[in-house]
Amino acid sequence: MKKSGSGKLLALYRLATRAATPLAGTIVAWRIRRGKEEPSRQNERFGIPSIARPKGPLVWAHAASVGESVSILPLIRKLHDSFPHLNILVTTTTVTSARIVQRSLPERAMHQYVPIDMPVFVNRFLGHWRPELIFFAESELWPNMLTTAARAGAHMALVNARMSQRSYSRWQYFPKTIASLLSCFRVCLAQSAGDADRLRELGAPNVVHTGNIKFDVPAPPADASELALFRAAFAARPRWAAISTHPGEEDIIEEAHSELARTRNRLVTIIAPRHPERGSEIANMLSARGHTVQLRSQEKQPQRDTAFYIFDTIGELGLVFRTVQACFMGGSMVRHGGQNPIEPTKLGCAVVHGPHVGNFNEVYGALDMGGGAEAVRGAIQLAHAMGTLIDNRQKAQLRANAAQAALAPYSGALDATLKALEPLLSAALMPKRQKPPTA
Residue 48 sits in a domain whose CATH number is: 3.40.50.11720
| pLDDT tens-digit readout, 212-260 | 998 998 899 999 999 998 888 888 899 999 999 999 999 999 999 999 9
Q: Cα(435)–Cα(299) distance, rounded to whole angstroms?
A: 54
Residue 381 sits in the same domain as residue 259? yes
Residue 180 sits in the same domain as residue 40? yes
Residue 381 sits in the same domain as residue 421? no
Q: Cα(376)–Cα(167) distance, rounded to whole angstroms?
A: 25
> Is 437 among the domain residues?
no
Cβ–Cβ < 8 Å for 72, 159 = yes
Q: Cα(163)–Cα(143) distance, rounded to whole angstroms?
A: 16
Report residue 1's pLDDT band, with 50, 70 and 90 as the boundaries.
very low
| pLDDT tens-digit readout, 250-279 | 999 999 999 999 999 999 999 999 999 999
Question: What pTM was estimated for this model as a whole?
Answer: 0.83
Does the pLDDT of residue 123 top 50, yes or no?
Answer: yes
| pLDDT tens-digit readout, 268-314 | 999 999 999 999 999 999 999 999 999 999 977 788 889 999 999 98
Q: What pLDDT was estimated at residue 362? A: 83
Residues in contact with 210: Cβ distance below 8 Å, sequence separation at least 6, in sequence order = 189, 190, 413, 416, 417, 420
Q: Which of 37, 38, 44, 68 is catalytic?
A: 68
Residue 418 sits in the same domain as residue 404? no
Full domain range(s) for residue 132: 9-211+413-428
Residue 21 sits in the same domain as residue 155? yes
Which strands form 373-375's sheet, in the order they lie side by side?
A: 293-295, 308-310, 268-273, 239-245, 326-329, 350-353, 373-375
Lowest mean pLDDT of 7-16, 32-41, 263-272, 332-341, name the range: 7-16
DSSP string covering 337-393, please? Answer: -----HHHHHTT-EEEE-S--GGGHHHHHHHHHTTSEEE--HHHHHHHHHHHHHH-H
Give the pLDDT mean for 195-202: 96
> Is 405 among the domain residues?
yes
Q: Percent of the chain having pLDDT more than 70?
A: 96
Residue 240 sits in the same domain as residue 264? yes
> Is 109 among the domain residues?
yes
Instruction: Give the chain's domain count.
Output: 2
Structure letter (DSSP) for residue 307? S
Domain harbouring 283, CATH code:
3.40.50.2000
Q: Which of 320, 408, 326 is nearest to 367 (CA)?
A: 408
Give the pLDDT mean for 60-76: 91
> Is 217 among the domain residues?
no
> Is 112 among the domain residues?
yes
Q: What pLDDT was estimated at residue 431? A: 57
Residue 326 sits in the same domain as residue 342? yes
Q: What pLDDT was estimated at residue 435? A: 52
68 as an active site residue: the answer is yes
Report residue 95's pLDDT band, with 50, 70 and 90 as the boundaries.
very high
Q: What pLDDT was estimated at residue 117? A: 97
- Alpha-carbon Rg for the chain, nearest whole angstrom, is 23
Q: What pLDDT was estimated at residue 315? A: 87
Does the pLDDT of residue 43 top 50, yes or no?
Answer: yes
